[in-house]
Amino acid sequence: MSSGGRTDDAEDLARAGSGARTGESFDARELVKSGAAWELHCRATADSAVYDHLGFVPDAYLAGLGEGTAGLAAELCSAGVWERAGGGYRILDRDAVGRCQDLASQLSGEAARVRARIRARDHARAQLMPELAEAMVVTPLCAACGAPATRIELVGPGQLPAQWEQWPGTVQSAIVRQRQPGQWYLLFTGIAAGNGYGDPIDASRAGRIARALRPPWRFVQVRTAGFYDDAGFCQDCDACYCYRHWHVSESGYGHCPRGHGKSLDPHWSP
């Protein structure tokens, strides 16, 4: 997630995130008991300003920081410093958010202009090539237990799947034999079923899936990928759950921990 060049900026920002202001009515530092949770709060607040999702901590960002962040996030929520919001957490420490925003805009002068140019270029590309696909592996985590809920891998033309080396030789040679130039490959492990060693797909389907699964994940966006189980996302919670937490019945119908139902039968159609 982090790149070497912005280390100094990140430190300044983290200080901005933690710096106390006199006369504050909401003293977040008082509310947060553990040092680790406080550190996460400062870092995530600073990064929310840098990465243009000010005041919001996407689940995917936390997952990228590694193990243990779910527990710290829970601590920040019970301290009233964060709250759960669709696909992540909202930072309630407005002072820290404000300080990071101010400093990020000062620090980033030139960097912001470069980023704006990159964004403008990407936007122009997206206009020209709406189905632009990118190779990727995503594993949305269960909002209840943090385990990987589903896994979606897009393999670009001429590339090999991440776990290729572990596949049987017969499978490898069959795939190599059948592969067409320019073809994409989809590997999908859903809640109740997946597509095994994958299926070839065309670039436009790959583009649709890549766009649908670009974080921060939202149900309305993820569903456009067209997976039978919406990659494990619950429409009403706007969150993802694993097989265990979907409580899948024998008929293939699931209920999320908050009681919302949905069919998880791959052959089910309305």
User: Residue 262 Cβ, how far from Zn ion at the closest point, in Å?
Assistant: 8
140: nearest Cα among 185, 195, 190, 206: 190
**Binding flag, residue 73, Zn ion (CB under 5 A):** no
Nearer to Zn ion, 157 or 194 (CB): 194
The DSSP code sequence of 236-247 is TTTEE--HHHHT
User: Residue-wise over 29-44: b if at least 16 C-beta within 10 A, else e?
Assistant: eebbeeeebbebbbbb
Task: Provide the minimum distance between the beta carbon of 260 and Zn ion in the complex, in angstroms, as a whole number.
Answer: 3
φ and ψ of 107, to 5 deg: -65, -35
User: Contacting Zn ion (CB under 5 A), which of 100, 138, 256, 264?
Assistant: 256
Q: Sign of torsion, CA 27 33 36 41?
A: negative
Could you write out the DSSP letters of every residue in 104-146?
A: HHHHTHHHHHHHHHHHHHHHHHHHH-TT----EEE-PBPTTT-
- Interface segment toward Zn ion; rule CB under 5 A; list 68-76, 99-107, 151-159, 256-264: 256-264
Which residues inside 199-238 make contact with Zn ion, applying CB under 5 A? 234, 236-237
How far is 160 from 102, CA to CA, in rounded Å? 44
Binding mask 133-172 for Zn ion (x = CB under 5 A): ---------x-xx---------------------------
User: Among 4-12, 169-177, 190-198, 239-247, which window interacts with Zn ion (CB under 5 A)?
Assistant: 239-247
Alpha carbon 61 to its chain centroid, in Å, reads: 6
CB of 148 to Zn ion, least distance (A): 9
Quote the least distance from Cβ 249 to Zn ion, whole Å: 16
Which of residues 43, 205, 245, 262 is near Zn ion by CB under 5 A? 245
Residues that bind Zn ion (CB under 5 A): 142, 144-145, 234, 236-237, 242, 245, 256, 258, 260
